[in-house]
Amino acid sequence: MLREFNNLTDEEQQLMFDAIPLIVILVGAADNDLDEVELTEAQRLADIRTYNTRGRLSAYYEKIDKGLSARIQQLYNGMQNGIEQREKFIVKELSKLNDILPKLREPYGYLYYHNFRTFARHIAEAHGGFLRFITVGPKEAKVMELPMIKPIPKPPEDEYPNLLG
């Protein structure tokens, strides 16, 4: 178990671990096609973040990295009942993070919120375009900012200098 999850229930911890797979499905399948490019980008990004999160979330990414593609497929295959129903289900699940993220001690609530949003943006931008510019389609754009998750304020810079940089 991760230290920052000490005060979370088992169900809350599971949702935190499933947040990235759910985000990948929400954004990647917004066009009703979760393809290999999006799955590969999700795995690549999780791999990178196991080493490149300034140590604060690397344990989280190490934990989800190992079985990420399989978990995405498992969740996705379990919700093959249309794009609208799938999106409603994922939005409902991700909305539960609004009760979980504030429970995490500072600065973790903010770090997870920020990481979830940047992960969603990367998945939305995974497809071509011209030289990878203007790559986000309208369906991905609608969900990539994760509007169902309430923003967590960034902790004071003097207490957590270079939090993201």
Which pLDDT score is estimated for 1?
Answer: 76
HEC-encoded secondary structure of the chain: CCHHHCCCCHHHHHHHHHHHHHHHHHHHCCCCCCCHHHHHHHHHHHHHHHHCCCCCCHHHHHHHHCCHHHHHHHHHHCCCCCHHHHHHHHHHHHHCHHHHHHHCCCCHHHHHHHHHHHHHHHHHCCCCCECCECCCCHHHHHHHCCCCCCCCCCCCCCCCCCCCC
Number of structural domains in the chain? 1
Q: Is 120 within the bounds of a domain? A: yes
Q: Is 159 within the bounds of a domain? A: no
Q: Is 163 within the bounds of a domain? A: no
Q: Is 51 within the bounds of a domain? A: yes
Q: Is 101 within the bounds of a domain? A: yes
Q: Which residues of the chain have pLDDT under 70?
A: 53-54, 80, 127-134, 165
Residue ranges making up the domain that contains 74: 10-144
Which pLDDT score is estimated for 33?
Answer: 85
Residues 94-124 pLDDT 10s? 999 999 999 999 999 999 999 999 999 999 9
> Would you say 121 and 143 are in contact if contact means Cβ atoms under 8 Å apart?
no
Q: Quote the radius of gyration of the chain (alpha carbons, Å).
A: 15
Q: What is the pTM of this model?
A: 0.92
